[in-house]
Amino acid sequence: MVVRALRDEGVKYIYGYPGGALLHVYDALFQQDDVQHVLVRHEQAATHMADAYARATGKAGVALVTSGPGATNAVTGIATAFTDSIPMVVITGQVMSHLIGEDAFQETDMLGISRPIVKHNFSVQRAEDIPSTIKKAFYIAQSGRPGPVVVDIPKDMTTPTDRFPYEYPKSVKLRSYNPISRGHSGQIRKAVDMLLQARRPVIYTGGGIVIGDASAELTELAKLLNFPVTNTLMGLGGYPGTDRQFLGMLGMHGSYEANMAMHHADLILAVGARFDDRVTNATDKFCPTARIIHIDIDPASISKTIRADVPIVGPSKVVLEEMVSLVKESTKKPDAAAIDSWWKQIDEWRGRHGGHYRTDDSELMKPQQVIEMLSKVTNGDAFVCSDVGQHQMFAAQYYKFNKPNRWINSGGLGTMGFGFPAAMGVKMNFPDADVACVTGEGSIQMNIQELSTCKQYDIPVKILCLNNQSLGMVRQWQDMNYESRHSQSYMKSLPDFVKLVEAYGHVGMKVDKYADLEGAMREAFALKDRLVFMDIAVDPYEHVYPMQVPRGSMRDMWLSKTERT
């Protein structure tokens, strides 16, 4: 019934790992061809693959893991999806009902463990409830503010000799859960009036644009108004990265112009963003002159850290659509002179510090150069799946994302080991697209066992390992805050990655000169049907800048090792 329900939900791939509690389900999988199972090497990777599929398509990914350690291994992946509001259904096996609570072999209380990191979880109590429970799980995961849902199924619920009438519901209704479908018109009108009067506006958008499929509406509104747009880490791709009106990312490692514009703005239109601490810096110094319009599908995100002057609860796509038509209908127009002088100011900031880094102070390749090369070689069109650390920030800053759903990273939880399985999940579902995993020698080793899965299923992702021989982001903080005491941030025994990937049957490349980079990268992407691991030696001393000064305002930034605003 589990497999049939997944088939009827239209699931093509599930990612998982078998075990005792799931043997009935795996036997059912074996006897059909509609739902294809991908055997990972560690359950964490299964959840990241399912998660990345959801990030790239907007539809819930599915992971299947057994009870006990299988389920606990999935916890990091569930939390990763939860923090970034990614729809996912995780089916966990459980020991037989009569053994629950008796500390049985491979028993853990998965409902209890997962409770704080799921949108909802279910325990199947009666086998005949399996189809409706799975339907509810998908409905909850994908509607409203999306998130992961765990369905815990005791082994005796899947006994093949027990037969039940099967019917997969077309839709479900829950009296206690009614996701909002549109925003309050009065509030939207009020917001549009404010937009048309703004003199120094900034549109600040997050993952809600990407997962809410509102990129086109956002772009139309920004173009109509000629307002600057900045994206959060999760929101990159929500607005075209090469457009003149795009200021880059904002926040801790945001661009100089984005952070300066935010600080001096008189109106901020926040859409699908949650004023996270990595964005706002000190909340009491945040954007002192700005009034704030906040659109979010989750009322709890509004006025959580920063009070909104005009809160609008609703799906970003629908609300922005309504705003666009109101702006078009309105007899009022934005104050062109004020907006022009605002742009002059922004362009001046942009000219002063727009994305500069030094290449002259050492022979070593800069990580930023690698990302810029990737952007060039793939025409800004690749799926870029990132791990966590300095390379992630460089990718966010220097890759020019022109399309949504192409930048796949663990933004909220910051899960090292995410990037590689994520790239695998995307590549399996978009076999013709270029899929790059940008990683470091630290992150990649957290899920490197998946090289084996890639061999089994021929998943030809391209791995760009920015190898600085240290945990770069930790090291940077140690340089800045701990007088360069590099406590445990240096890895003394790195493997020979080229030999390692060759042992798994893939292609390895080592690049240590910038002159060789373009040729090697083009060669790697030309090898369409092979996984290529590029071990790229980069400057181990490089820091990510700008970097906001802790407890400061948006505009307080380090711009290099020696310059501060």
Partner 1 sequence: MRHIISVLLENEPGALSRVVGLFSQRNYNIESLTVAPTEDATLSRLTVTTIGNDRVVEQITKQLNKLIDVVKVVDLSEGDHIERELMMIKLKANGQMRAEIKRTCDIFRGQIIDVTPNTYTVQLIGASDKLDAFIASLGNMASIMEVVRSGVSGIARGEKVLSL
Residue 298 to residue 274: CA distance in whole angstroms: 9
Does residue 115 bind partner 1 (CB under 8 A)? yes
Separation CA 70–CA 159 (nearest Å): 20
- Please give the Cα distance from 397 to 255 (Å, whole number): 8
Residue 105 bears catalytic tag: yes
Phi, psi of 503 (to 5 degrees): -60, -30
Task: Examine residue 120 and tell whether it contacts partner 1 (CB under 8 A).
Answer: yes
Q: Is 175 in the site for partner 1 (CB under 8 A)?
A: yes
Q: Among residues 176, 331, 487, 488, which is the contact residue for partner 1, using CB under 8 A?
A: 176
Query: How are beta strands 229-231 and 246-249 bridged, if at all?
Result: parallel
Check residue 177 for interaction with partner 1 (CB under 8 A).
yes
Alpha carbon distance 91, 332 (integer Å):
53
CB 493 within 8 A of CB 469: no
Q: Is 174 in the site for partner 1 (CB under 8 A)?
A: yes
- Contact pick of 57, 187, 303, 402 for partner 1 (by CB under 8 A): 303
DSSP bridge pairs for 122: 151
Applying CB under 8 A, the span of 7-15, 117-125, 230-238, 482-490 interacting with partner 1 comes to 117-125
Smallest distance, Å, CB 32 to partner 1? 31
Q: Which is nearer to partner 1, 270 or 451 (CB)?
A: 270
Regarding 111 and contact with partner 1 (CB under 8 A), the answer is: yes
217 is catalytic: no
- The active-site residue, picked from 32, 105, 333, 348, is 105
Distance CA 2, CA 7 (A): 9
> Using the rule CB under 8 A, is 304 a contact of partner 1?
yes
Per CB under 8 A, which region of 89-97, 172-180, 185-193, 537-545 contacts partner 1? Answer: 172-180
Shortest separation between residue 289's beta carbon and partner 1, angstroms: 22
CB-CB contact of 194 with 227 (8 Å): no
Written as six digits, the tokens of 519 are: 């040729």
DSSP 153: E
Cβ nearer to partner 1, comparing 176 with 488: 176
Which residue of 50, 86, 89, 140 would you call a contact of partner 1, by CB under 8 A? 140
Asked if 533 is an active-site residue, the reply is: no
Output the smallest distance, CB 177 to partner 1, in A: 5
The smaller minimum CB distance to partner 1, of residues 116 and 165, is found at 116
Rounded distance, CA 370 to CA 73, Å? 33
547-548 and 557-558 as β-strands: parallel, antiparallel, unpaired? antiparallel
39 makes contact with partner 1 (CB under 8 A): no
Nearer to partner 1, 45 or 137 (CB): 137
Active-site residue flag, 473: yes
Rounded-to-integer distance, Cα 401 and Cα 158, Å? 45
Cis bond upstream, residue 160 (ω within 30): no
When asked if residue 106 is in the footprint of partner 1 (CB under 8 A), the reply is no
Which distant-in-sequence residues (6+ apart) come within 8 Å of 429 by Cβ? 12, 13, 53, 56, 57
Active-site residue, selected from the candidate residues 106, 197, 345, 449: 106
Catalytic residue among 155, 317, 400, 462: 155
- From the candidates 473, 534, 554, 557, which is the catalytic residue? 473
Distance CA 446, CA 449 (A): 8
- Minimum CB separation from partner 1 for residue 527, in Å? 46
Please state, in angstroms and as integers, the Cα–Cα distance from residue 484 to each residue in 17, 87, 157, 326, 491, following that order: 42, 41, 56, 55, 16
Report, in Å, the least distance between residue 300 CB and partner 1.
4
- Residues annotated as catalytic are 43, 105-106, 155, 473
Q: Using CB under 8 A as the criterion, which residues of the chain lie in contact with partner 1 when the complex forms?
A: 111-112, 115-116, 119-121, 123, 125, 140, 174-177, 298-300, 303-304
